[in-house]
Structure 1
Amino acid sequence: MQDETATDRTVFSLTGGDRIHFLQGLVTNDVSDLSGRLVYAALLSPQGKYLADFFLTAQGEAILLDVKTDLAPALARRLGMYKLRADVQIAETGLHVIRGLGTPPAGALPDPRATELGWRAYADTPAGPETTDWDALRVTHCIPESGVELIPDDTYILEAGFERLNGVDFHKGCYVGQEVTARMKHKTDLKKGLVTVSITGAAPVGSEITAGDKPAGTLFTQSGGRAIAHLRYDRAEGLMQAGDATLTWDHG
């Protein structure tokens, strides 16, 4: 399989003596040691809702932050707001995000969300075009995508599966939105969340799912007779409807 360029990503560089401490107090995962590894994390609002997700790794005296391009301007503004007097500089790098499923090249790092998602690397020059059906992989393994299943100021990351995706650390200490996330983990049972369902037919992303005459959730990415859906577990029984499509959840 060829190496592919992810054309919808922006890579920032964070430099300065406070860069690790700065991120450690903001993001959902432990970034105290980024050497030789890729860490998946998110920035939340003070109310515990998703704002952006990204990958982090060390490159020399810098931290690289790999984020969906649509989210990059708002993320850079928010990081700048939190920076205050910290010794942190944030800049776009112009690096290309290269990813693939085959043998990883030198310097590539495994995607921490799931082994089935292959590897990522950062390069000055692009690789080939994307030919992998990444949506099919995401649906199979229930991997949410920024701007689709992950909706700024709306999504709660535990409902989106961030614990399963290695995107949150419950032992690292305080970060923005940590109190809400910890309470959802330790003091409540999740009553809804992202799952993979079987689907016959198709419906637009964002379509309401109903079970009988009751709202049961929202339909998202669809591929090969499967789809990612956000479901209310107590209503997700039997045959459900989303637009002209019918779907079932096998609880797998």
Structure 2
Amino acid sequence: MAPRLPASSVCLRCCRQWNKASFSTTTTVRQQDKQAGLPAAPPPPAGYARLTNRALISLAGRDSTPFLQGMVTQNMIMGKEPIRTARRTGSYAAFLNAHGRVLHDVFIYPVTGGNGSGSSEEPEWLIEVDKAEVKNLLKHLKKHKLRSKFTMRELDESERSIWASWNENAEPRWAAYNIESDLPSQLSASSSIVGCMDTRAPGFGARLLTPGTDDLRTHFPDCSLLAGNEVDLTTYHLRRIFHGVAEGQGEIIRESALPMESNMDAARAIDFRKGCYVGQELTIRTHHTGVVRKRILPVQLYDNEPNASPPSEKPVYNPTANLHMPPPGANISRVSARKGRSAGKFLGGIGNVGLALCRLEMMTDIKLTGESSQYDPSQEFKVSRDSEEGESSCPAAGDVKVRAILPAWLRMYIEAGGARGSHAAASEGLRARDLVEQLEEETEQESRHRGT
């Protein structure tokens, strides 16, 4: 008979962790299967990817524009009285519930008469959403439709393809038109392509909808308009993680995530000057009086090996890293014996990088108020299987160390005061002006070239 250990030799918390580990064989195998087939290298500086994890919903009819105006965080009606028109460019936005929590992160694209079944009298919008959430979003729309005059339907996969395209060396020319929404898109009214600039991170690229299932290169044979080669969906997700961009309800948790904690203010998904919409009250109150203490950030995962500490400027992807991927929703806590509040929640990852909802004043050197910061650069954090909040120095199978990385663009946005900061507003205005001026110069050069 095996000897019994003294009760004082093992803490109760460790017992719980060891019991969980002993019954987690199936979970570990599934995680290893998910880690198989990782990208062999970081994402290329230029490329494009077919987003098979996203789907489209069509809203068409005379009341579709005012209906969306009262439902989403983005402003769908531009201009001032007495001349107000429907938005003519696509945009990032969100549907919220009545308590201001995110239901769906979406891209919304206007479709003109030449682009689809709609006409100037009967506007049409395409809503891009997480494919797993299509039925939930349709149910949400039907719940609020009442007597509004419009139709809605899910598009078949064969009707349109959804693409992400990027070129870190040069922004798409027509992206300049999407910064100021009252400017028309460079895509002509007769074009079968719909698109917009992806504003979730600087230089993140563009979103494009093409008819049918043909490769994107079929529609953009000119390399100056479409750079790089097609990459798989996992490589696209890896690029999102590098930029700190969350997507879908696997990362922006349905009815739990707050829009500003999900960086939707920095991504320009929220128009704080528009009228009422579902969930506006909490959002606008946080904007004017609150402090956003948690945000989604990229994180580096590492273990206890020597020199395994990650850099502080950006994640480093290592496809050969032998790490156990923590489960989504796992608690992040300090590596210490003293109990305290949770430092955040792990959302998901690839290889040795991931995204997490991080408490800024604990995991970064950002100071949000005049109070003393809780940040200690020597303090390490771990992602634990244990879902309970707290801290422990006891070893546990499956624990992985984690370090939050604050992207430079997000740091500047926070330190400038967020959407309320005059510096942030000024920089956006200057960036828009520079891009428009650049576009005018390119157009003039093309005209001269045609003349010769």
Check whether TM > 0.5.
yes
| 3-state SS of 1:154 partner | coil
Number of residue-to-residue matches in the alignment: 251
The change in CA–CA distance for 1:228 and 1:100 in structure 2 (over 3 A counts) is same
Q: Deviations over 1:169-191 (max 9, x none)?
A: 10011100000111111111122
- For 2:148, the equivalent position in structure 1 comes to 86
The match for 1:20 is 65
Q: CA deviation at 1:166?
A: 1.2
Q: Which amino acid aligns with 2:252?
A: L
SS at match of 1:221: strand
Q: How does 1:1-252 map to 2 (within 5 A)?
A: 3-32=48-77, 33-35=86-88, 37-60=89-112, 61-94=123-156, 95-102=160-167, 107=193, 108-128=195-215, 130-131=231-232, 133-200=235-302, 201=323, 202-211=325-334, 212=336, 213-214=339-340, 215-223=342-350, 225-236=352-363, 237=375, 238-243=379-384, 244-252=399-407
d(CA) in 1 for partners of 2:152, 2:207: 21
TM-score normalized with structure 2 length: 0.52
Which of structures 1 and 2 has the larger relative contact order (alpha carbons within 8 angstroms, sep 6+)?
Answer: 1
Contact 2:63/2:149, CA 8 A, preserved across alignment? yes
* SS class of match (1:73): helix
State the 1:18 CA deviation: 1.1
Q: Which runs of 5+ in 2 are unaligned?
A: 1-45, 78-85, 113-122, 175-186, 188-192, 216-229, 303-322, 364-374, 385-398, 408-452
Gaps in structure 1 of 5+ consecutive residues: none
CA distance 1:130–1:249, shift in 2 (3 Å): closer
Distance 2:355 2:213 in 1: 30
Mapped to 1, the partners of 2:298 and 2:106 lie a distance apart of 22
In our comparison, the structure showing a higher alpha carbon Rg is 2
Structure 2 CA distance, aligned partners of 1:209 and 1:79? 36
Structure with more helix by fraction: 2
Q: Give the Cα–Cα distance (whole angstroms) in 2 for the partners of residues 233 and 182 of structure 1.
A: 21
Bigger share in strand: 1
Q: Is the CA contact (8 Å cut-off) linking 1:31 and 1:39 kept in structure 2? A: no
Question: How large is the RMSD of aligned CA atoms in angstroms?
Answer: 2.3
Cα distance change on mapping 1:127 and 1:208 into 2, 3 Å: farther
Secondary structure at 1:117's aligned position in 2? coil
